[in-house]
Amino acid sequence: MQRSTDRILTTHVGSLARPRPLLEQMREKEHGRPYDVDGFPKLVTDAVAEVVDAQVAAGLDVVTDGEMSKVSFLTYVKDRLAGFDASAGEKLMPPSWQVEIDAFPGYYADYLGKYTEQVSPMTTMVCTGPVSYVGHDQLRTDIANLRSALAGHDVTEAFLPSTSPSGFGRNAFYPSEGEYLSAVAEALREEYLGIVDAGFLLQIDDPWLIEYLSENPATTPEQRRADAEQHIEILNHALRGIPREKIRLHTCYGLNHGPRIHDLDLAEIAPLMLRINAGAYSFEVANPRHQHEWKIWRDLPLPDGTVLIPGLIGHATNYVEHPDLIADTIELYAGLVGRENVIAGADCGFSSRASFKPEVHPSVVWEKFRALAEGARPASARLWR
């Protein structure tokens, strides 16, 4: 993993809006209806090439494929893991979401009701047999598409996201939740290794660390802590042997637009987050519920060689952050942990689920990226003055 050795590098979390022709074919494919089987792979390849071109043009240093091939950052694994069946109509609502929805039922009825035209049907993955990884062909295609799209571009680095073992399914096969999650993690390890072996950085998308720790009326704080500890142990076992400097961890809170008054404080999360075997940690900062949390880094020491990727542009608002604010926040974090230990990033993905109407309009996303790069330049000039 490259560090900010002579200037502040810029990146983002991964998912970006898919082009409409791809979304239309993806929707038919996901609903089991006729689609252009022969033309679909080219739609994905072209979309990756376009989105890499656009990231470079916006001034980002560390880029990715935009997750063009995936219906979401999480449920894409339905095509890559054996041992699961789909349970149509069954929804796994994260407890922290339900707490927030119960507090603001009128708001969330309107907010969640907007998502009527779905690219992928709402189904829950139910584990009904031994879990194994069967996504080798899809992974090879993702790797080939990104490698081809990077040709001719002078980028600092590239990464591919992969989900953590939790959050997308329900166990109905293994004797315990721990055994189920361990089996899922061992299967996903094949994807983790494939990404690193291909020469890309591996990004683990892990909102579930925060979910385990968040308010849940059905559990005690002690049980939530124990679940989080188990999650860390299982994820680290899946990452065993992979050098820390090849791994980025992204964690966030799940819900996007909303009051978000039940978000857990980063001070409760960060010490556990830093125990996950990664070289860089991406987390929300632009979100106004968390902008004040820079203070925790005054007292929380970073492990040697660790990079922070604070989110300086928000994924849940169509405001474009001012480059001067971005520059100031970069300098704030650099003053806390060292300039070489900061990469400027985003709060979360801008289309974590394939959608015809992502919450932040794609034209605004590219302007946000340009603002991120523009803000990094004066911050770098002052930090390396």
Q: Is residue 41, in this structure, part of any structural domain at all?
A: yes
Q: Give the pLDDT band (50/70/90) at residue 326.
A: very high
Helix (H) or strand (E) holding 170: strand 169-171
pLDDT tops 80 at residue 93? no
Q: What average pLDDT is seen over the chain?
A: 94
Question: What is the span of the domain harbouring residue 253?
Answer: 9-383
Can you tell me whether residue 180 is helix, strand or coil?
helix
Q: Is residue 4, in this structure, part of any structural domain at all?
A: no
- The predicted-structure confidence for 144-164, as pLDDT tens digits, reads as follows 999 999 999 999 999 999 999
pTM of the model: 0.96
pLDDT of residue 117: 61
pLDDT of residue 116: 52
- The predicted-structure confidence for 5-40, as pLDDT tens digits, reads as follows 999 999 999 999 999 999 999 999 999 999 999 999
Q: Give the pLDDT band (50/70/90) at residue 96.
A: confident
Count: domains in the chain: 1
CB 97 within 8 A of CB 254: yes
Which range is least confidently modeled, 112-121, 132-141, 263-272? Answer: 112-121
CB 44 within 8 A of CB 22: yes
Q: Is residue 147, in this structure, part of any structural domain at all?
A: yes
Which range is least confidently modeled, 146-150, 210-214, 239-243? Answer: 210-214
Mean pLDDT of 349-355: 93
Helix (H) or strand (E) holding 10: strand 9-10
DSSP assignment letter at 229:
H
| Cβ contacts of 172 within 8 Å, gap of 6 or more | 126, 127, 128
Q: Are strands 62-63 and 157-163 parallel, antiparallel or unpaired?
A: parallel
Q: Give the pLDDT band (50/70/90) at residue 122.
A: confident
Region of residue 25 (left: phi > 0; alpha: psi -120 to 50; beta: else): alpha
Q: What is the CATH number of the domain that holds 107?
A: 3.20.20.210
Q: Give the pLDDT band (50/70/90) at residue 214.
A: very high
Tokens 């922290």 map to which residue? 96
Q: Is residue 314, in this structure, part of any structural domain at all?
A: yes
Q: Is residue 131, in this structure, part of any structural domain at all?
A: yes
Give which of 156, 158, 167, 271 is closest to 212, Cα–Cα.
167
> Rounded distance, CA 343 to CA 348, Å?
14
| Cβ contacts of 130 within 8 Å, gap of 6 or more | 82, 83, 173, 183
> Rounded distance, CA 249 to CA 309, Å?
9
- The predicted-structure confidence for 261-317, as pLDDT tens digits, reads as follows 889 999 999 999 999 999 999 999 999 999 999 999 999 999 999 999 999 999 999
Q: Is residue 302, in this structure, part of any structural domain at all?
A: yes
Give which of 29, 17, 26, 125 is closest to 80, Cα–Cα.
125
Q: Is residue 2, in this structure, part of any structural domain at all?
A: no
DSSP assignment letter at 153:
-
> Rounded distance, CA 36 to CA 40, Å?
6
Return the percentage of the chain with pLDDT > 90, whole number.
85
Amino acid at position 283, single letter: F
Q: Is residue 1, in this structure, part of any structural domain at all?
A: no
Which range is least confidently modeled, 82-86, 254-258, 377-381? Answer: 254-258
CB 198 within 8 A of CB 143: yes
pLDDT tops 80 at residue 115? no
Q: Among 19-33, 90-104, 116-130, which range has the highest average pLDDT? A: 19-33
